[in-house]
Amino acid sequence: MTDLKTGKEYVPSGETVPFMQVKVAGNLYMPSTASWSRSILTLTYKEVNVSAKININNKGKYCVFELTDINPKNKVDAVVWGPYATIISETIGEFVGVVRNDEFAIGLQALNTKTTGGDLVNDEGSTGGRGTAALKREYGSSIQAFSLDRSRPRVVDVWAHGGNNPVFPQMPVPPIPGETTTGSKIALFACQASEALNTIGAIEVAEGLPHPIINGEWIKTSDVMRIPYMISSFSEENFDFLLSYAIKGGFSGLYHEGPFTKWGHFELEPKQFPNGRAGLKACVDKAKAAGLRTGLHTLTTFMTPNDDYITPVPDERLAVSGVSILLADVGESDTEITVSDAQPFMKKSDMNTVWIGHELIRYEGVSETTPYKLLNCNRAMYGTQASSHKKGGEVKKLVDHGYHVFFPNFELQKQVTKNMSDLFNETGVNQMDFDGHEGAYASGQGDYGIDQFAWEVFTQTNHLLINGSSLSKHFYWHLNSYLNWGEPWYGGFRESQSDYRIDNQPLLERNYMPNMLGWFLLTSSTTIDEIDWMMTRSAAWHAGFAFVARDRTIRENPDVDAVFDQIKLWLEASHGKLFTPEQRQRLKDTNHDFHLTKENGSYYLYPWNKHTYLHECKILQPGEPTSSEFVFENKDDTQPFRMIILITGDKNGVINECSFELDNNKRVAIAGEYKAGTTLVVEESVVKEYNDRGRKVGEKELNGIPQSLSKDKHRIMIDGKTDNEDMKLQITVKTKGTKEFVGINN
């Protein structure tokens, strides 16, 4: 692989690079001979007596390689394209399948769902991590893809990509008729690094891959996905109210966090949508008239036990992780079931459910010796009917998950995609997340099941479907609009997966995905300071996010209008591209906070200067001072005194009182019992208390709090009463810096 402009060779010296390998009886084999006739390359694999024909088509910007024939037909279990070795090590696009440095890029694109971009590491055909279409190697990097023969029944470890402990070991996987390795197809390209994304776009258009267009532009180059969206449990009744706030905040859409009573058939919650799909469509039409999207959240192939595919009669196409045979008749009330083989039932799952006839039964465990018995069985589960079962009948273990759900097999999965797309077509809903996308692994088809589910939903929907996912996969990249990882449930804006959110940004950038920061949660106590922190990061990375703003918290938060106005203000500046590269670089530093204002049509950025100190609690003799003293300087104008006290240390420890003095003035005591993780915010005669998840739990007025902080050096004393020397007080005095001009948004 050579850069024709410079003559530089990108295949590492000394590496053996196979064009295509075949997998036979568990082993990979490289080709032993090659012959060329017009556009057909014939490879032979003498060790296993296999031959393969590959059609090679030079398309100018890229080459297409398609496996058109392989013999013997039923001998090869899989084919592997490459791995193609390169000396490039700088930027590895692990799921887009592109490696690049500042000058040159080399990429691989799978051209159909039967071809999985990634490293073949298991019989399931699943890839781990965030993607393996491109991998860092000692010599630089490699790009690779594979295809499995799925036309024959298989027994494989399922959900095996996470290591040596598969979720469902030795699961029987039904065949997909006609789905062999023949037809596996890839494109290879090399170009200047700056042209790599455009080259992928050209491949999509020419090869019939999805090439989503939004507002006249390819979605992968559009900034639309970087505009945040609002999440809330809207209904026919409150939709207008929530839509008004989505508009007020400058959001791109309103996304429902859980509208269904059943997953599988996707029936709407009647209290939220008394008019059913017609009521939902009316909401969608209102949002569309305002220029906003409407989305719904579900968990891909997860199926609730109350769904019609489960109850009262289980569908014959449910995913099964193992099958055994009844060795004795079973009566309607028996609590022990004798089976021929214990293996399918040995590994406990979350629901531990077997399926006999039309009955679902939960069991506690399996006897250790023959005859093997399912013990302590609960009969007639999930609305099914208890009945007697004859010796010789099948006992099937259902695939389940900790969310208390079951799964379809690959055949039923196709019906679920139709149910989903039918809903979108009928209502006009145009956004969703393939959350729990890994649930499609339950089909036993690895990444093929993941890609095929998304492909079918996307192509069966008669309008553009904006979509995200819990996973990043190579072929799915072509369908995917955004990846929005980062959850808000574990703490405040700064604490809940903050590092994880930031760490995701280089991953998204090296795979040509829009920057996204995950979900943030509006609470009844969310402040402008927290919004500034969130929007500072959003502006820094030019990143979108999801803002969870529920009806109740919007109504309860006293600053809610200012909160939404501040979000919109930041979005105006960010999407107006007003911040300079130098400003954006400073905004990326999570140790610094900023506030944005608009004054006479111009935008100004105020930095917050933070003076942070640590007080370690001490237990001394009566009368000995236990306080700590610190000196800081306010180099800015006189302003209100602001201080944050974070209590850290032993999770079982308690601070019984915090106290402080500023400039040898009046001692201010903050009485109360405060555990590690508590934050006390001191400002304007008020102390606000927040718990370890960033939720406001109290507020009280205190006399003696300094009302202003002059431009000068200051001395502060801090102390805390406790009987636990492992407790600490981290104090931060915040001063508002001099404003700097950002720009004017016309």
Task: Please tell me the predicted confidence (pLDDT) of residue 623.
Answer: 58
Task: Please tell me the predicted confidence (pLDDT) of residue 430.
Answer: 98
Residue type, 689: E
Task: Please tell me the predicted confidence (pLDDT) of residue 460.
Answer: 98
**Residue 693 — very low, low, confident or very high, per pLDDT cuts 50/70/90?**
confident
Buried/exposed code over 644-654 (b: 16+ C-beta within 10 A; e: otherwise):
bbbbebeeebb
Q: Is the pLDDT of residue 619 over 80?
A: no
CA distance 81 to 280: 46
Q: Is the pLDDT of residue 448 over 70?
A: yes
pLDDT digits (tens, 9 = 90+) for 627-657: 999 999 999 889 999 999 999 998 888 999 9
Task: Please tell me the predicted confidence (pLDDT) of residue 622.
Answer: 65
Instruction: Report in angstroms the alpha-carbon separations of 737 from 596, 609, 644, 740.
Output: 12, 6, 17, 9
Task: Please tell me the predicted confidence (pLDDT) of residue 746.
Answer: 66
CATH class entry, domain 608-736: mainly beta
CA distance 255 to 269: 15
35: left (phi over 0), alpha (psi -120 to 50) or beta: beta
**What's the average model confidence in pLDDT over 468-496?**
89
pLDDT digits (tens, 9 = 90+) for 259-307: 999 999 999 999 999 999 999 999 999 999 999 999 999 999 999 999 9
Please say whether the beta carbons of 539 and 533 come within 8 A: no
Domain ranges of the chain: 20-209, 320-398, 608-736
**What's the average model confidence in pLDDT over 374-380?**
97
DSSP state string for 305-337: TTSTTTSSS--TTB-EEEEEEBSS-B-TT-S-E
Rounded to the nearest 10 degrees, how much is the dihedral formed by the CA atoms of 127, 255, 572, 531?
-90
**What's the average model confidence in pLDDT over 366-391?**
96
**What's the average model confidence in pLDDT over 546-558?**
96
- Bridge partners, 611 (sequence order): 733
Please say whether the beta carbons of 119 and 97 come within 8 A: no
pLDDT digits (tens, 9 = 90+) for 321-344: 999 999 999 999 999 999 999 999
Please say whether the beta carbons of 344 and 314 come within 8 A: no
**What's the average model confidence in pLDDT over 229-252?**
98
